[in-house]
């Protein structure tokens, strides 16, 4: 008579599977398969458990070995891109000898991050020739998605392009002037108020993710102003508190 002297044998030494980080509950992940040489109930394999850091997020069918997604809660590719779990199988309808196999699940990137600018606002000062900046003006945004279309950022000016004189390199994010902003021979042009450009960064994923930032462009003459503060105190008291008042 047959004795239960064999353990379940998996068809693979290690299972690997991938699932999108925006997959819906119920999504098929993989199928674990094991057989047992014993006869009768001794040879009937059941998949009894799945253990590991996201085991609670998965559903294991004990009879078929099919693993599906229960939830993506707390699963984020940008934080942890892959997980290693252990699947257990037992013969004798789940009551007998056991064996385990490793399962590696990789999270595939979804375009779930927006480009984030490195500064909340950018400022630049025009040279006196009104055709360039005193320092290079480059806006930069970072996208946390996986390298590829989901994180490839391009830039565009979406509003505030005074006289259509500004242009932006869509790849580098550098803003320059196509031609002088104004006729420098006209004194009134030296008093131009700050110009506010709105720049948008967007990735190449589906759906497209984007964010925008303000860029303030200042005229040197507009910035170089004298401001007088009138302090209602006797001069002697002000001299004694000079540092405090300046602060």
Torsion-angle region of 163 (φ positive above 0: left; ψ -120 to 50: alpha; else: beta): left
| Alpha helices, DSSP H, located in 178-227 | 220-223
Q: What is the band of 65 on the pLDDT scale with cuts at 50, 70, 90? A: very high
List pLDDT tens digits, range 200-243.
Answer: 999 999 899 999 999 999 887 666 667 788 899 999 999 998 89
Residue 184 pLDDT > 50:
no
The pTM (predicted TM-score) of the whole model is 0.67
pLDDT given for residue 183 in this prediction? 56
Which H or E run contains 240?
Answer: helix 235-240
Do the domains 116-223 and 9-108 match in fold?
yes
Q: How far is CA 37 from CA 34, 46, 63, 79, in A?
A: 10, 14, 17, 42
Which residues, at least 6 apart from 55, have a Cβ–Cβ distance to it below 8 Å? Answer: 85
Token digits of residue 117: 């600018």
- Residue pLDDT, tens place only, 140-170: 999 999 889 999 999 999 999 998 999 999 9
pLDDT (0 to 100) of residue 224: 61
Cα dihedral sign, 145-150-154-155: negative
How do the domains of the chain map onto residue ranges? 9-108, 116-223
Mean residue pLDDT of the chain comes to 91
**What is the CATH code for 9-108?**
2.60.40.60
pLDDT value at residue 185 = 47
Instruction: Give the closest residue to 184 by CA, choosing from 126, 127, 129.
Output: 129
pLDDT of residue 202: 97
Domain 116-223 classification at class level: mainly beta
The string of pLDDT tens digits covering residues 120-143 is 999 999 988 888 999 999 999 999
Residue 181's pLDDT is what? 80
* Angle, CA 15 vertex, CA 12 and CA 21 arms, to 5°: 165
pLDDT at 190 over 70: no
């Amino acid at each position: 008579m047959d004795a239960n002297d064999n353990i379940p044998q998996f068809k693979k030494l290690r299972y690997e599977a991938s699932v999108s980080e925006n997959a819906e509950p119920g999504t098929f992940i993989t199928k674990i398969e094991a057989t047992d040489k014993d006869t009768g109930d001794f040879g009937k394999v059941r998949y009894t458990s799945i253990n590991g850091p996201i085991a609670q997020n998965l559903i294991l069918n004990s009879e078929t070995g099919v693993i599906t997604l229960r939830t993506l809660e707390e699963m984020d590719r940008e934080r942890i891109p892959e997980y290693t779990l252990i699947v257990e199988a037992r013969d004798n309808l789940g009551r007998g000898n056991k064996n385990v196999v490793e399962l590696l699940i990789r999270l595939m990137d979804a375009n779930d991050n927006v480009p984030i600018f490195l500064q909340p606002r950018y400022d630049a000062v025009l040279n006196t020739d009104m055709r360039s900046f005193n320092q290079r003006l480059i806006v930069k945004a970072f996208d946390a998605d996986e390298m590829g279309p989901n994180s490839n950022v391009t830039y565009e000016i979406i509003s505030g392009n005074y006289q259509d004189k500004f242009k932006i390199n869509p790849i580098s994010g550098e803003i320059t002037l196509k031609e002088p902003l104004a006729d420098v021979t006209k004194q009134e042009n030296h008093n131009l108020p700050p110009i506010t450009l709105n720049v948008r960064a967007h990735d190449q994923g589906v759906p497209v993710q984007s964010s925008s930032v303000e860029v303030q462009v200042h005229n040197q003459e507009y910035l170089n102003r004298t401001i007088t503060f009138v302090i209602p105190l006797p001069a002697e008291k002000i001299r004694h508190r000079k540092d405090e008042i300046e602060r």
